[in-house]
Amino acid sequence: MSTLLAVLVDGVIYASWLFIIAAGLTIIYGVMRILNMAHGSFYALGAYAAASLVGVWLRGGRPPMGSYAMLALAAILVGVVAGPVIERGLLRFAYGKDEVVLVLITYAVFLILEDAVKLAWGVESYFVTEPYGLLGNLEMGPLSYPVYSGVLVLVAVAVGVALRWGIYGTRYGKLLTAVIHDREVSAALGIDVGRVYLVTFTLGTMLAAAGGALTAPMVSVVPGMGVEVIVLAFAVVVIGGLGSVPGAALGSLVVGLVRSAAVHWLPQVELFSIYLVMALVLAFRPRGLFVAAEARKI
């Protein structure tokens, strides 16, 4: 029984981590029709930035609780700097090209950023574990979890709620929805599609970076940490449906629970179980678990 609880709790924690990253990926696809392969690189940038900022903060002898603000700052900085630079400086020249070509462009960006990170931060690992242990542990029956994990879950929920409110409740969200449905018509109606793209990409990047920043205290920050994340994020958005935020939430839960179950009960399948689910969903519901209707073509 305790194992079932462990599977569920671990699953939810892992799902929260995934959701923060995947949500950004899915809205970038939904609005811009770009499957961003560089998403994992922004995640890594967020982690490195967090490591640096937290390091600077704590070295100055400042209150440790402030390190959380540093995590948030790292995410925001990476989003606000990397997002516009990549979108305005590169992607904008490729709009209108085939979807697959855009994916290849983001793949090239991923390659560039992989080395950019190494050039900027070197190849040694960084450790910023203070924020992780700072809040102590939470006892749940026979299990003990760091409160930090709970923070992760709360952040994921907050992101989900904020996105839902943002997209359905605000005027800007309605503009976003219009662009998602039809870019040309939106532009014809006077919507500044370029600005919508910029904001969306920046937001998506920020979320990826937030995922990385929040992860930094949990792992050693090393080059290549974005490489596995990107395929996991792909699995999540494919399962849930490309472009759907509720889909990303569902996909995260599915992947999180499947992985958790595998780790606890069948470790041999841990690695491939997620991709098996991804392949199965693609096989039976290629548009994901949240389908949308398709218009007539001829």
Partner 1 sequence: MIRRRWTTAGLGIALVAVVGVAPLLPRWSLFVVTISLAKGLVALGLLLLMRTGLVSFGQGLYYAVGAYAAGVGAEALHLSDAVPMVILGALAAAAVALVLGLLLARYRAIFFAMLSLAFSMILYGVLVKTSAFGSTDGFNVAPKSILGFAAAGPAGRFGVYGVAALCAFGATLGIDRYLRSKLGRLAPAVRDNELRVEYMGASVRNVVHLHLVLAAALAGLGGALTALAVGHVDPEMAYWTTSGEFVFIAILSGTSSVAAPFVGALLLELLRSFAYEHAPNTWQLVMGVAMLGVILFLPEGLWSLFRRRVRSAT
Query: Residue 24 Cβ, how far from partner 1 at the closest point, in Å?
Result: 17
Which of 217, 251 has the CB closer to partner 1?
251
- Which CB atom, from 165 or from 272, has the smaller least distance to partner 1? 272
Distance of closest approach, residue 295 Cβ to partner 1, in angstroms: 15
280 exposure class (CB count in 10 Å sphere: 0-12, 13-18, 19+): exposed
| Whole-number Å distance between alpha carbons of 246 and 84 | 26
Q: How far is Cα 183 from Cα 83, in angstroms, rounded to an integer?
A: 20
Alpha-carbon 185 to chain mean position: 29
What's the rounded Cα separation, in Å, for the pair 94 and 102?
7
* In the complex, least distance from residue 265 CB atom to partner 1, rounded to whole angstroms: 14
**Tokens representing residue 246 in the block:** 């509720």
User: Which C-beta is closer to partner 1: that of 145 or that of 275?
Assistant: 275
- Least distance CB 106 / partner 1 (angstroms): 10
**What number of H helices and E strands is found in the chain?**
12, 2
Residues that bind partner 1 (CB under 8 A): 35, 90, 93-94, 98-101, 103-105, 107-116, 118-119, 123, 227, 231, 234-235, 238, 242, 267-273, 275-276, 278-279, 282-283, 286, 298
Report which of 11, 81, 26 is spatially closest to residue 49, judged by C-alpha positions.
Answer: 81
The residues near 194 (Cβ < 8 Å, ≥ 6 apart) are 92
Shortest distance, CB of residue 281 to partner 1, whole angstroms?
Answer: 9
Nearest to 214 by CA among 172, 280, 158: 158
Q: Which of helix, strand or coil describes residue 233? A: helix
Q: Kindly tell me which of 21 and 242 has the beta carbon lying closer to partner 1.
A: 242
User: Cβ 158 to partner 1, closest distance in Å?
Assistant: 29
- Between 159 and 239, whose beta carbon lies closer to partner 1? 239
User: What's the min distance (Å) between Cβ of 168 and partner 1?
Assistant: 26
Give whole-number Cα distances, 66 to 43, 55, 220, in Å.
21, 11, 21
Backbone angles phi, psi at 146, to 5 degrees: -65, 140
End-to-end CA distance of the chain: 56
| Closer CB to partner 1, 217 or 226, in the complex | 226
Min dist. Cβ of residue 102 to partner 1 (A): 9
Helix intervals (H) in 33-123:
39-59, 66-89, 99-121
